Structure 1
Amino acid sequence: MVISGIRKLLLPSPFSCSPLPLPVCGQAALNTRIVGGQNTSVGSWPWQASLYWNGFHMCEGSLINSMWVLTAAHCFSSTNTTGWSVHLGQQNQENVNPSHIILHPLYNSQTHDNDIALLKLNAAVNFTNYIQPICLADNGSTFYSGTETWVTGWGDVISPRSPVTLQEVQTPVVGNGICSCLYEMVNITITDNMICAGLLQGGKGSCQGDSGGPLVAQQGSVWIQAGVASFGCVETNYPEVFTRVSYYEDWINFTIATDQPCLVTFLSNGTESNNGTCTGVTPTPTSSTPGHTLCWKRLAP
């Protein structure tokens, strides 16, 4: 279906969001399902991108078509592409330099609102079982509290060293009502542009080095990106916060003039039951909670 020149899809699958021979999105032929907090099987997340700066892993991203990667704006101190490279596929089988870094024009580094960026690659990548684009949630999508999602990344695993194997964890969406209530205690505003996910008891999720990585959900056989890792670090009563991809449909399609990424409507089951009270919950800020230092932060100078 085409709406105002933008490709939008309603499942079921299989489907293609572009004229053939471009591939379908959100397909992970080698994904055998997820176990929270475990190493991934090779090829499970073929859209996962590692962003390197001067030879060091700094952030994550997601491949959304053959020429573009979606990530977080806070990964970059400027739009200068010098020193940056994008690693994709099995054992980083394809490394590509970005030709452009485009930050959302309303990104606020103090509040982390509109924390989203696009990288244009200097050459199209070849799709394989290990390199595939992810579908993006469109602005008609719903991610109700309790919706199961997955986070992937190479960030910290209770250790100063990042793992050499991509990590994955299953985690539920936390409704913006209770997420906003919790973060108000440390003077952080959760906006409609954000989506929260995580276990309120903490201990499972992403951390430094996972900035910009995808939060994804599965609908049928199709994987759809709901969020981009922005801030949080698996502290008790502090869900992780992601930029809500569906709110940026217009900006993404305006920025990517041709071969636009697939937009898919993700519909949660039931109704939103989280109206947002956190009575009796009193999280105590620590050295890594957002009231002091945001744990997901740009690691490059």
Structure 2
Amino acid sequence: MGLSQQQASDRMGDGRVAFLLPVALLLRWPHSSLGLKCGQRMNSSEKSEVLEIIGGEPANIRDFPWQIRILENGSHLCGGSILSEWWILTAAHCFKSKNESALEVTHGEENLDTQNLTKIKVDELIIHNNFDSWFYLNDIALLLLKSPLSLGVRKVPICLSEVADIEQWRNCWVTGWGTTVPKRSTETGLQKVNVQLIKWETCFELMPLLTKSMLCAGDLEGGKDACQDTTRWIYSSP
């Protein structure tokens, strides 16, 4: 992941431990002092009945409080998930350059037009060593923040599944900001769509470049999708 064991150890002093990604994905982040549990909606909103995206609907940040937005030079770049007060999980292919100084995150609001958004600078970008930008292999990255998130009702860490058998996963959601029609501008409001996992063998017949490390989800009959720009979305199974 680009960090030596010594560098990781050096982060222990200020509570920001830089774990190698495989280790980070197995961690249970502690939040007991804040009364928070990963994946816990502390104040869920009522379900919206207005359908505005492909098979989905507008989302309230309280329903997906781990959702954050990544900016590059002030412009919307990608979505991500809160792992802890210091760490953000996102996709490696979002970052064509590794200029951490241009990156910051916003959190706790579902609308991109919200005034006076709280922004936090990124201290370090960690991209998987074996990321392949052509085939999207190991498409995963971590962001280490310069200052910690203030976790609360609208800012809750996502859970990292301990269920090895993904056949057991149910009620999966894709959330984020993206385009609902090709060549249209990004939706300003957070969107969500409920999708089902598709068997790997079925998906491989449609997309031969699929590897065993990838998930396939959607609707074989159409009508449900992560829209045109999937880099702006995150996938979760509440």
Shorter-chain TM-score range? 0.7 to 0.9
Counterpart amino acid of residue 109 in structure 1: S
Question: Residues 6 and 60 (structure 1 numbering): CA distance in 2 closer, same or farther, change over 3 Å?
Answer: closer
Q: Write out aligned runs for 1:61-210 (5 A).
A: 61-90=80-109, 93-138=117-162, 140-144=163-167, 147-158=170-181, 160-184=184-208, 188=209, 190-210=210-230
Question: Residues 6 and 191 (structure 1 numbering): CA distance in 2 closer, same or farther, change over 3 Å?
Answer: closer
CA RMSD of superposed structures (Å): 2.6
Instruction: Could you tell me which runs of 5 or more consecutive residues in structure 2 were left unpaired when the two chains were aligned.
Output: 1-22, 50-54
Question: Residues 183 and 19 (structure 1 numbering): CA distance in 2 closer, same or farther, change over 3 Å?
Answer: closer
Deviation of 1:148 (Å)? 2.9
State the SS of the aligned residue for 1:194: coil
Give the structure 2 partner of residue 58 of structure 1.
77
State the SS of the aligned residue for 1:136: coil
C-alpha contact (below 8 Å) 2:175/2:233 kept by paired residues: yes
C-alpha contact (below 8 Å) 1:62/1:213 kept by paired residues: no
Q: TM-score, normalised to structure 1's length?
A: 0.61
Q: Indicate the percent of aligned positions where both proteins have the same amino acid.
A: 32
Over 2 Å off, 4+ runs? 5-9, 16-20, 29-36, 90-94, 145-148, 207-210
Question: Residues 125 and 106 (structure 1 numbering): CA distance in 2 closer, same or farther, change over 3 Å?
Answer: same
Higher strand share: 1
Counterpart amino acid of residue 173 in structure 1: L
Q: Deviations over 1:71-123 (max 9, x none)?
A: 00000113221321111102564311110010000001111110000000111
Counterpart amino acid of residue 149 in structure 1: C
1:216 matches 2:229: no
Deviation of 1:56 (Å)? 1.3
1:24 matches 2:18: no
Counterpart amino acid of residue 211 in structure 1: T
Question: Residues 192 and 212 (structure 1 numbering): CA distance in 2 closer, same or farther, change over 3 Å?
Answer: farther
Provide the aligned length of Structure 1 versus Structure 2.
203
Instruction: Could you tell me which runs of 5 or more consecutive residues in structure 1 were left unpaired when the two chains were aligned.
Output: 10-15, 219-301
C-alpha contact (below 8 Å) 2:25/2:160 kept by paired residues: no
Q: TM-score, normalised to structure 2's length?
A: 0.76
